[in-house]
Amino acid sequence: MCALFGESRDISLFRNINRELLGNIINQQCIFYKYELAKTKTNIYGEASEGRYFKNPIIFNCLIKRNPQESPTSEVGVDFGRVIDFALLKDDLVDANLVPEIGDVIMYQEGYYEITNTISNQLFIGKNPDYSNEQNPLNPELSRFGYDVSIICQTTYVNADKLNINKNRI
C-alpha cells in the first residue's frame, strides 16, 4: 500500500503555487536581519553597549498576520506595542541559507520586530520529511512523502533607538 499524494511531483506543484501566491498575488514583503552574535560585543551585564550587529538584510515574500496595536500607559507616558506573525516559506529560507532564531529582527513598514518564537509545524499531508518512518513494515517507502512548508516567526515591536542596528563592516 502506498500513499496517493505527497510525492515529489505534488510537492513541486505545491511549492510553485506557494511562491507564485506570495510573490504575485499577496505580495507582502519583509526585510530579515540575522543577528550576528560573534561580532556583537557585550559588557559584563550581557548588554550590547556598542550596538548589535546583523548580517546583510534579505528581502522575503511572506504572509503577515497583524495583531491589534497596544498603547499601554505608565508613569513615563504612553508606549506602543504590536505583535506580528510572519510566515516565511521554508524553501526560500533554505535558498538564502537562513534559519530564523529568537533575537533576529524583521523590518516591516519602517518598523522593527524582534523574533520571540518560531513555529515550524505546517506540514504538507501532515508528514515531516525529516522523519522518514522507513521502519514502517506496512509502507516502507514513506521517506518519499511529505513537505515542511513554512516557518512562522512570532515577533514583537522594538523601538528603533533601542535596537541600534549597525551595518556590518567587512
Per-position DSSP letters for the chain, written without gaps between them: ---SS-SHHHHHHHHHHHHHIIIIII-EEEEEE-B-GGG----TTS--TT-EEBPPPEEEEEEEEEPPPB--B-SS-B--B-EEEEEEEHHHHHHTT----TT-EEEETTEEEEEEEEEEEEEETT--TTS--TT-SS-TTGGG--EEEEEEEEEEEE-HHHH-EEPPP-
Condensed to tens digits (0 to 9), the pLDDT of residues 24-48 reads 898 899 999 998 766 666 666 556 6
pLDDT given for residue 28 in this prediction: 94
Give yes or no for residue 170 having a pLDDT over 60.
no
Question: What is this structure's pTM?
Answer: 0.79
Q: Comparing 153 with 131, which gets the higher pLDDT? A: 153
Average confidence (pLDDT) over 95-109: 94
What's the pLDDT at 113? 95
